[in-house]
Structure 1
Amino acid sequence: MTTATIASGRSRELRNHVSLGQSVANSFTMAYRGLLKIKRTPEQLIDVTVQPIIFTLMFTYIFGGAISGDIAGYLPIIIPGILAQTVITTSVVTGVQLREDMDKGVFDRFKSMPIARISPLAGALLADTVRYFIATTLTFVMGYIMGWRAGGGITGLIFAGLLVMACAWAISWIFAFFGVVARSASSVQGISFLILFPLTFLSNAFVPVDTMPSWLQGFVNVNPVSHLITAVRELTNNGAVTSDLWLALLGSAVVVAIFAPLTVRAYMRKA
């Protein structure tokens, strides 16, 4: 038996006996590693910094007059829609970066370290919440610059932001699963956007549901993203908590309950 094999066996044994507290600490360390990657390559933040600005300007000035008659009347509709679309789209990065780390051999290096086996995966999911926060903040700021004022006050804004971030984190488990099982980062991205485009564009994000064909309204009304956007609109514009908020949280819980075990199981086979 070689020295490398013995060292690998000892490392695996140590990782199998890591305490819960150490697992949490290792996960936050891996999250910090993810933030350092952003610091060294700030272009990774282009999607969460440029997209909210471009999408808000583009959709507002294209659809505002046709749907609401003017820009001011459309902003309370479009800002929550842009927020949900931008933050949820950002969650794709979780799976893509996981796959890239695996392809580059980074996770092979982690196997030789006496850390919790789950910490690289948990750290990646934690680090991406910073991206969600940036996208949420910029969307609200852009809306304010364009003249939107949240009738729900600062409390409504905070709870709406937290709701969107929580739902995006839940959805990121789907893309983390693809990141673990897919063969390349490009395939993760392709599969992810095939899922995201129907969910975000076939929703009530940009236009009222009653303007759509009846056959399409059925899908839009059951689309969980539509419930999320409606909940955000009520929180930001009226400061109201509606049933859509609980439906959005329930949908997020179902996603986590299904994909978290699948992702962890697939990840542990490779870790």
Structure 2
Amino acid sequence: MSRYARIRAEARADWSSFLRRRTAVFFTFFFPIILIVIFGALVRTDPTGEGLFAEPPGYYVPGYLATVVLFTPLSRLGSEVARHREGSRFEKLATTPLSKTEWLFAQTVVNTAIIGIASLLILVLVLALTGAEMVFSPLLVAYVVVGSVCFCGFGAMLGSYTDSRDGAVAASNTIALPLLFLSETFVTLEQLPGWFAPLVNLSPLTYFARGVRAATYPGAETPAIAGVDPAIANLLILAAVAVVAFAFGARSIPHTD
């Protein structure tokens, strides 16, 4: 069996497994919808120019997309790796031609497809409910794909180093929730303490948010990096992090447990 056939078979099995878990399907798409309804349609932008949602609706599009780009791979890959460890499935995997890298790649393909569908749904809802102004750029697809790969790698590491499936889910939520609000998504740098602002640059999600905003939001004031267009520069940084995260994620998956 070729490498492509092995990856395709594993991806097909994972996709079927996802569809059978109706609760997982529901909440994968339900959580970002609730976020948009609450913050985008009910809270809305503060007309005084102050407060948490003081920017125009288009500014927060990267934040809404970040909910699925961040939460979905962290929770799904973390719990999936932990579930395989608890069932000694990696020990069985070691006896097959499918390598750990191929297994993680197949999982990443499925997660990217799920995130892509959820992102499209989010964009439709944001435009319909908030009236956000945005420019549709091909780079948006690249950001969703690269961001998915990046956090799939981190999710694999979480599942490999936590002691149980519940622990992996708890760890993913503990990490994802602060990152969601402290990565220049919903909270601007001006709203953060001066001493904390430089730490925002340590989050991979920051480069996702900045890049998506530079590519899609007409009023973005994202600075260039080393003279490179910010939409391209932030994508390159995120891609570099994604390569490293995926490599470490694949390496961290145990052959046996």
Query: Normalising by structure 1, what TM-score?
Result: 0.77
Q: Would you say the 8 A contact 1:27–1:122 is kept in 2?
A: yes
Larger proportion of helix: 1
| Counterparts in 2 of 1:224 and 1:120: CA distance versus 1, 3 Å | closer
Q: Would you say the 8 A contact 1:151–1:239 is kept in 2?
A: no
Q: 2:241 is matched by which residue type in structure 1?
A: V
Partner of 1:260: 246
Query: Which of 9, 14, 19 pairs up with 1:39?
Result: 19
Q: CA deviation at 1:214?
A: 1.6
Q: CA deviation at 1:159?
A: 2.2
Query: Normalising by structure 2, what TM-score?
Result: 0.81
Query: Which of 185, 191, 211 pairs up with 2:191?
Result: 211
Q: Does residue 103 in structure 1 map to residue 89 in structure 2?
A: no
SS at the partner of 2:56? helix
Q: 1:52-91 counterparts in 2 under 5 A?
A: 52-60=32-40, 61-62=42-43, 64-65=45-46, 68=49, 74-91=56-73
Take 1:136 and 1:47, find their aligned partners in 2: how far apart are those partners?
14
Query: Per-residue displacement from partner, 1:197-228 (whole Å, max 9, x unpaired)?
Result: 33221122113321332223232355432232
- Structure 2, gaps ≥5 residues long: 221-227
Q: CA deviation at 1:268?
A: 5.3
The root-mean-square deviation of aligned C-alpha atoms, in Å, is: 3.0
Query: Per-residue displacement from partner, 1:218-243 (whole Å, max 9, x unpaired)?
Result: 32355432232121112122399932
Q: Would you say the 8 A contact 1:176–1:263 is kept in 2?
A: yes
Q: CA deviation at 1:34?
A: 0.7
Structure of larger gyration radius: 1
Deviates more, 1:185-194 or 1:133-142: 185-194
Take 2:151 and 2:169, find their aligned partners in 1: how far apart are those partners?
14
Q: CA deviation at 1:79?
A: 1.9
Q: Does residue 94 in structure 1 map to residue 74 in structure 2?
A: no
Q: 1:148-227 counterparts in 2 under 5 A?
A: 148-153=131-136, 156=137, 158-221=138-201, 223-227=203-207
- Structure 1, gaps ≥5 residues long: 1-17
Q: CA deviation at 1:123?
A: 1.8
How many residue pairs match? The answer is 246
SS at the partner of 2:58? helix
Take 2:48 and 2:150, find their aligned partners in 1: how far apart are those partners?
32
SS at the partner of 1:65? coil
Query: Per-residue displacement from partner, 1:135-183 (whole Å, max 9, x unpaired)?
Result: 2111101112114354423xx1x42133033112112111102223332
Larger RCO of the pair (alpha carbons < 8 Å, separation 6+): 2
Take 2:199 and 2:94, find their aligned partners in 1: how far apart are those partners?
44
Query: Per-residue displacement from partner, 1:11-43 (whole Å, max 9, x unpaired)?
Result: xxxxxxx7xxx1232011101101101222232
